[in-house]
Amino acid sequence: MKKQILPLLATVGALTLTSCFQSETVIHLKKDGSGTIVEETSFGEQMKTMMAQMSALGGEGADKGKDPMAEMFSEEKGKKKAAALGEGVTFDKVEKVKLGDRDGYRVTYKFADINKVKFDPGDATESMKPPGADGEEEEDKAKKSDPITFTYASGNLTIHMPKPDPKAKKEGDDSKEEEEDPQAAQQEAMMKQMFADMKISVRLTADDGIAKTDATYNSGGTITLMEMDFGKLMKDPTAFKKLQKANPQTPEEIEATLKGVEGIKMESKPEVTATLK
């Protein structure tokens, strides 16, 4: 689980997007094994203002006269990401959309065979890197999570969730008790404001419906593989800090770590099965 959460936290921190965005990815699966991956990303006023200022000032990576949002969701970037999603995945289209009171973009990818799709939850915010931020350090590469993969035949789907690293050391085992930070209250208030409206989710749905599944989170034939509502998480900073430090290595540990933590749904099973209608 941590291998999925930390890349998201690192990316968000690096891009300073925090409360400014919401991201939802839905994998639509057809009975023949083909389908689409639809990513919807919307932005708050703070993010739009920041990007407009960056463009106006002509800072590094900015291109005066061009819409920075459009650059972030360009066809070029879409095609590049399609190649990373697996063999046979192609970029279909990008649309500017209005989601409630938020402006956003919807990017659609097509795949011919879900068996070849590799979806990395840590890439949920990849396309939102501002112009000039395409470079990637080796340390950042190491933080990327393993991808979600799929096995499908004759209407039967198995979703293979990323496996924890068995060699990973439990964080905090040898650490000393943290000293109380005199600025903790101020930092906590700032974090609550920053993360107030941030949401990220990854779901899978079958076009003709799902007859049965052992997924932990299944509603109306839609399986939720990951859902993080940081506004709810930040209502309990203690639980949030515990979540950051946790390094569960088994499904049982993952389930125990998430128990009672409001604002997060994470599939703990190493494999999820589903039978399509």
The domain limits of the chain are 2-276
Distance, CA of 159 to CA of 56 (rounded, Å): 45
Which residue, 175, 144, 98, is CA-closest to 2? 144
Given this model, what pLDDT does residue 153 score? 97
For residues 99-125, give the mean pLDDT.
87
Given this model, what pLDDT does residue 20 score? 65
In the predicted model, is pLDDT for residue 142 greater than 70? no
**Burial class of residue 180, CB neighbours in 10 A (0-12, 13-18, 19+):** exposed
Given this model, what pLDDT does residue 246 score? 64
Under the phi-then-psi rule, with left for phi > 0, alpha for psi from -120 to 50, and beta for the rest, what region is 182?
alpha
The predicted model scores a pTM of 0.76
**Res. 12 pLDDT band, cuts 50 70 90:** very low
pLDDT tens string 207-248? 999 999 999 999 988 999 999 887 787 777 676 666 666 665
Name which of 146-160, 167-181, 204-218, 256-270 the model is least confident about.
Answer: 167-181
pLDDT tens string 54-81? 656 554 444 555 666 777 888 999 999 9
pLDDT tens string 41-53? 988 766 666 666 6
In the predicted model, is pLDDT for residue 205 greater than 90? yes
**Res. 164 pLDDT band, cuts 50 70 90:** low
| pLDDT, the chain, mean | 75
DSSP code, position 31: T
- Listed in sequence order, the DSSP H helices in the chain are 2-15, 45-57, 68-72, 75-84, 138-143, 184-195, 230-233, 237-245, 251-258
Q: Which two tokens stand for residue 220?
A: 């109306």
* Proportion of the chain above pLDDT 70, given as a percent: 55
